Structure 1
């Protein structure tokens, strides 16, 4: 209200949304997000609770129990960061590294590049450990880097969705601990689809995303800290630079330190969805989920190879089963294949990302979308799109 005698400004006509939202139906078989289970989506329609209400704390406790099963850990230090996988990424780096500390980053795709960038922004001395796209690091390569640099932390991406590689983590926890190094792992596109054992493998920090194998909407980043990681957090000489991601504070909201204090408004409806997604995972069983994703990966590649298509990752032991990367043959319009799948079937597949743009297609087999029928639809879209370009499935591709 204006001062006495001042005219009130005219209210402009609305230019924003009008009417009821209209969203097309898509089958999301790219690198993510994947479609969510309807049971999970329905949970978001439940009544809102206050983010400090006891019934909501009970839901948060159930989420933590579900995460402990998913991570295969006994650690009490599990939670959801309010945001996508980048929230967990920044939380691990900003809490576990202080300015001037050495940080060895496994750089074999876009996610290593991003972690290195974030590490530098927080003042770490980043050592880039590089690998060509489509390949992973050997144990000996990682051992040499850790023993040479004695870093505060080593970062690796278990599954890189930009290149389709699956990094072997066996023995790395023991290696890191012998050298006073924390082991930080990205599992955004792998968690729930391939084996992961936080405790048995000696992982110190791990973050993931809700929108892929877990089968929930984007907006939650599952996170795990070991006792070693929390000890590092508590012994810092400086406060974590980010207030938003400070796990002294966020952890207290989640009950890590035997209390519950306000830090921010928890994402109430998103947490409902995650609670349901974790319940579905528990009902299905992790071993069954791992076996299903491997089986459907094999079925996809049996069909692709019949068309003469080849995997981008040459070594089968390094090939990711959740995000499958397919070489674009010479003379094929890769984008026309993607457009055909969308225009004909409302089916999303993606091209490359970062250094793989124009070189590959990426097909996700993740969570709720991991079904034989969906794999068959992807194969049908490839067959028809390639035929349309004059590349018959029963003929080899010509240069």
Structure 2
């Protein structure tokens, strides 16, 4: 006999890790709005509104700005399988876990994948990327902007011009950075960029905003096979055949476009959430939200340094919204994290690969990029560190963070 549990009742948490984060309350309210049919005029109007809102978030005029239903990885995969033909050369500069992810997805798209690597905690100078482009001659460059595994923010402002000079499509994964760090899709020459709601955008995981340049759309459109409005399967052996139905952006663009050709049933509640995330950002002001993340990140950085913690990586290239700190010698990292969660309801993150068990990652993003969340986390962290024998100055982290807020414009 099946035991029927009670209604879902999660405990209150302050999510101060690298994501997911605590969603904006209005996003949660939006998700509880009534459902409508996928071709209801309200639904199609909400889709069009969401497209326009994300043009503002991405800083683009791209007509092809929309959502891919699924987590941020769904957006990554849709972009890569739709833009990469089998046998295409793809270059991926790797400076953390998510560069490896881009390389893996490109391999699954049957690309000839080339990578360059730098130490975790560092980023690539544009000259190094250009040298690799000249050597590899890729069809596409896949580059993460903000990699939460290392907390580094790869500068993109010169990369688009480099790609344009060499006839290379430029794709960036901005999952961890969009909304909390500057991102200028048009000014920086991006051909494709994808993100997720669960970081700086302040929503739940499950929807992936994407924007595509006219050049990217031309590549995608060239791979479509349409006869009288009905799609033909095509020849799976053809290099033009997109090897995914769900992630075929040619079909998704037609679904979001004026003809509204059926592809899937849009995830209505996630559309509502994504729309509200973008609406919040533009209502507060895109630049103001980025500045709020900058101040919160600077306050957290000052606070952890005042507690005597060593910050990992090149701080000059750290994302605004997350900091990694070395776990003090003698402190059991996972047990201390569990104490923060059990005693204070605060979640911070561990890390991956060579940093697993070596650093904690503390986020200040979205709804939690605010003073009270920063100060509460620092006060709780001080208590837990002292419990495990770390000599910390009483109130040092909170005082340092408060000082940053006092000096903020």
- Mapping of residues 72-221 of structure 1, within 5 Å: 72-221=59-208
Aligned residues between the structures: 379
Q: CA deviation at 1:234?
A: 2.2
What are the superposed Cα offsets for residues 305-341 of structure 1, whole Å, 9 maximum, x if unpaired? 111112101x332111112111123222222321121
Q: Which residue of 2 is the match for residue 14 of structure 1? A: 2
What are the superposed Cα offsets for residues 86-135 of structure 1, whole Å, 9 maximum, x if unpaired? 10010111011011010001111111111111111111000011111101
Q: CA deviation at 1:344?
A: 1.2
Q: CA deviation at 1:229?
A: 0.6
What are the superposed Cα offsets for residues 157-183 of structure 1, whole Å, 9 maximum, x if unpaired? 110000110100121111101111111
Q: Which residue of 2 is the match for residue 5 of structure 1? A: none
- Residues 336, 385 of structure 1: 8 Å contact kept: no
In the superposition, the TM-score normalised over structure 1's length comes to: 0.93
Q: Which residue of 1 is the match for residue 267 of structure 2? A: 267
Q: CA deviation at 1:155?
A: 1.0
- Aligned with 2:222 (options 235, 238, 247): 235
- Residues 106, 155 of structure 1: 8 Å contact kept: yes
Q: Distance in 2 between matches of 1:184 and 1:18?
A: 45
Q: Which residue of 2 is the match for residue 294 of structure 1? A: 294
Q: Which residue of 2 is the match for residue 71 of structure 1? A: 58
Q: Distance in 1 between matches of 2:52 and 2:341?
A: 39
Q: Distance in 1 between matches of 2:54 and 2:17?
A: 25
Q: Distance in 1 between matches of 2:8 and 2:385?
A: 35
Q: Alignment partner of 1:266: what SS? A: coil
- Residues 296, 321 of structure 2: 8 Å contact kept: no
Q: CA deviation at 1:367?
A: 0.7
Q: Which residue of 2 is the match for residue 247 of structure 1? A: 249
In the superposition, the TM-score normalised over structure 2's length comes to: 0.90
Q: Which residue of 2 is the match for residue 343 of structure 1? A: 342
Q: Which residue of 1 is the match for residue 320 of structure 2? A: 321
Q: Which residue of 1 is the match for residue 232 of structure 2? A: none
Q: Which residue of 1 is the match for residue 28 of structure 2? A: 41
- Residues 189, 323 of structure 1: 8 Å contact kept: no
Q: Distance in 2 between matches of 1:142 and 1:89?
A: 21
Q: CA deviation at 1:54?
A: 1.7
Q: CA deviation at 1:357?
A: 0.4
Q: CA deviation at 1:18?
A: 2.9
Q: Which residue of 2 is the match for residue 4 of structure 1? A: none
Q: Distance in 2 between matches of 1:354 and 1:183?
A: 27
What are the superposed Cα offsets for residues 327-381 of structure 1, whole Å, 9 maximum, x if unpaired? 1232222223211210111100011122210111001111111111111111112
Q: Distance in 2 between matches of 1:246 and 1:102?
A: 20
Structure 2: 5+ residue stretches without partners = 224-238, 395-409
Aligned residues: CA RMSD: 1.3
What are the superposed Cα offsets for residues 170-197 of structure 1, whole Å, 9 maximum, x if unpaired? 2111110111111110111110001100
